[in-house]
Every structure is written in C-alpha cells, then in structure tokens.
Amino acid sequence: MEPGKTIVGFIGLGVMGQSMAGHILDAGYKLHVYTRTKQRGENIISKGAVWEETVSGLSAKCDVIITIVGFPADVEEVYLGEGGILNHAQKGTIVIDMTTSSPDLAVTIDEKAKEKGIESLDAPVSGGDVGAQNATLSIMVGGDKNIFDKVSPLFEVMGKNIVLQGKPGSGQHTKMANQIAIAAGMVAVCEAIAYAKKSGLDPNTVLKSIGAGAAGSWSLNNLGPRMIAENFEPGFYIKHFIKDMKIAATSSSRMGLETPGLDLALSLYEKMAEMGYENDGTQGLLKLFK
C-alpha cells in the first residue's frame, strides 16, 4: 500500500468517516469518495479527493475500498446490492468494512467477496469523534493475516491500537464486547455525575479525583466533561449506539449468554430515543438523571 500509487475508495463521510478519510488523503494516497449527501464531502473534495456519483463507479476504480456507514442494512446494500461494491469491484480489490455491524453479515460479505476474487476484512473502530480526529482509533480486525499485513499502512494513518482478532467476523465480535463494556459503563458515569451534583459537589472537581483512580475510564474522562457542560452534540449518535447494543444483544442471546448490564443500558437509551433524543451524542443519557 504505497501513498501516491494506491487508489483508495472511501464510502461514508459522517462524524467518523470525514476525519478518517482526511487522514488517508493527508498521507498521500489517491482518494475517491462517495456519500449519500454530497455536501458532506465538499470539504475533503476541496482538498483533493475525487467525488464519485455512485458506489459502483467508485468500486470499479479503486484498489482498496473502505466503508463506514450507518446500519447493517446500509452495509448489506453497499456491498451486496445490485449497484454494490462486490458486483463492480475488480478482482484483487481489498474491501474493508469499518462500520459496526453484524458479525454474521461480515462472514457473508467475506464469502461472497472470495467468490469474486475480492479480499475482505471487517475492521470496526472505537474511539469516537476524538479518536477519529486525532488518528488514535482502536481498530479491531477480522480476516486473513496476509491481507491485514498488506493494508496495515492504511490502518496506521487512522489508528494506534490495531489488532488482528482472528477469522472473518472476529473484528465485529470484538466490537460487540467493546460496546457491551461501554453500555453499562455509560449508565455508571451518568449516575456518578448526577450523584456529585445532587450532593452539592463541583462535578468537575470530582472528575479530577475519580478520573485518575480505579473508576477512571475513557467514557468518564472524555464524555464526563461534556455531560457536565451539557454539551450533547454527537461524537457518536444515540441511534447508532442503540443499533450496536441490539446487535450485541442478539448475538449474546444466540450464544446463550445473559447480559443484564447491556439490557439495562439498551432500555434506557431506547427511552431516550422515544423522547426524541436519538440524534444526541451518547453522553445525552445524562438527561434521564436530571
């Protein structure tokens, strides 16, 4: 994967994708982009990315295609639809889905890709908008090691903690474990901040103590200050977190695993969506505790 020679296609320029694609362009790769709303691509196009009008058009021109879209249904359409990647990419193309999606769908995409001489990796990420902006994302990868090694230079311009977890679908299973850990943790962070306020403490001062102790976590230290400032702008949408938790719950149930912490968090976030807050950042859960 050499900058200046490798043509990278990037599909999905949302909160995360915009920064991730920007790092690839800044690293010197030739970049073609597509997103449903062209306006989202104007900034990166102005910096030298090539706009493609269709997924099929992008797919036919690129050596590596990266996707980070919204929901599993979007992933399925982008890869398996009539105008999708696998019907238009050339043999030898490498496709990397970085959406948080279904492990089963990742396996299906890999199987269909191989039938067409295309290589596939599932590589969801963690780190939110801050990790995407700073190129410090954790990248969890499922697929063949030879392909992983080949595209590692691309992963390295987007993230820092990059781990091949195993066979196709393993990246998505790892991301489910990540989301399960975050889910119950977010409830705890909200309860802690609400408790600090209710007891008359300055929650910012409280964070200085507990954020550096055993209670410290990425959510507490990065989203806690946003909660206190009542900044509920999305680094990661509630609606997308609900999607992730539902995938995790379904996968857990299939394996016969009980997840009471996940179930509680999912029920609270679904209540937020019912109240009209699905486009808030996940830190918006604090509203339920006020």
CA distances, 30 to each of 72, 167, 282 (Å):
28, 29, 34
Distance CA 276, CA 266 (A): 15
Distance CA 155, CA 145 (A): 14
Secondary structure of the chain: what % helix, strand, coil (to 5)?
55, 15, 30
State yes or no: is 112 an active-site residue. no
**Phi-psi category of residue 8: left, alpha or beta, with phi > 0 → left and psi -120 to 50 → alpha:** beta
Contacts of 20 (CB under 8 A, 6+ apart): 10, 66, 68, 98, 125, 132, 137, 158
Adjacent-strand bridge partners of 281 = 237
Give me the catalytic one of 30, 47, 112, 175: 175
- With 0-12 CB in 10 A as exposed, 13-18 as middle and 19+ as buried, what is 3? middle
- Give the pairing type, strands 159-166 and 137-142: parallel
Active-site residue list:
175
